Structure 1
Amino acid sequence: MANGTIRYWAAAKSAAGIAHEPYAAGTLAEALDAVRERHPGELVRVLQRCSFLVDGDPVGTRAHETVALAEGGTVEVLPPFAGG
C-alpha cells in the first residue's frame, strides 16, 4: 500500500469540497473506492466523467485495478472541460 495525494480540479474540486487529500492505496481503483466512501453524492457522479493522471501519466482506458500507485505519488482528477 502506498501513500500519496489526490488532487481535484474544477468540478471535482467543487464536488469534493477540497482541493486535495491523501490516499493510502495500492491501485487507482482502491484509491477511488475510498474517495467514493468519503464523498458520497455529487463527487461520485463527477468521477464517472473524469480522466486521471497518475504521477503525470494519463491513465486513459487502462483498468483502474491495473494502475499501481507509488509511495509519495499524485493522482490528478480531471473533469471534462471546454476550451483549449
Structure 2
Amino acid sequence: MAKGTIRYWAAAREAAGTSEEPYDAPTLAEALRAAGERRGADFGRVVALSSFLIDGDPVGTRAHEGVALPEGGTVEVLPPFAGG
C-alpha cells in the first residue's frame, strides 16, 4: 500500500467537505472507493465527472484500477470547470 495525499478542487472540495486528505491504497480506484465510503452520494457524482492528476501527470482515460499510486504522491481531483 502506498500513502500520500488526495487534494480536492472546486466542487470536489465542496462535496468532500475538505481540501485534502491522506490516502493509503495501492491504486487510484481503491483510494477513491475509500474516500467515497466516508461521504455521501454527491461526492460520488462529482468524482465520477472529475479528471485526475497524479504528481502532475494526467490519468486520462486509463482504468482507475490499473493506476498505481506512488508512495508520498499527490492525487489532484479536478471536477469539470465552467467558463470559457
Query: How far has the Cα of 1:82 moved from its partner?
Result: 2.4
Structure 1 portions without partners, runs of 5+: none
C-alpha displacement of 1:40? 2.1
- How many residue pairs get matched? 84
Q: In structure 2, how many angstroms separate the alpha carbons of the residues matched to 1:42 and 1:82?
A: 18
Deviations 1:32-70 (A, max 9, x none): 110110112211111110000011100000000111101
| Distance in 2 separating the partners of 1:5 and 1:47 | 16
The TM-score normalised by the length of structure 1 is 0.95
Q: Which residue of the partner structure matches residue 48 of structure 1?
A: 48
Aligned-partner Cα distance in 1 for 2:43–2:27: 19
Q: What SS does the corresponding residue of 2:15 show, helix, strand or coil?
A: helix
Equivalent residue number for residue 13 of structure 2: 13
Taking structure 2 as the reference length, the TM-score comes to 0.95
What are the ranges of 5 or more consecutive residues in structure 2 without an aligned counterpart? none
- Which contiguous aligned blocks of 4+ residues in structure 1 show a shift greater than 3 angstroms? none
* Corresponding letter in the other structure for 2:20: H
Which whole-Å deviations, capped at 9, do the CAs of 1:7-28 have from their partners, x for residues lacking one?
0000000111100000000000
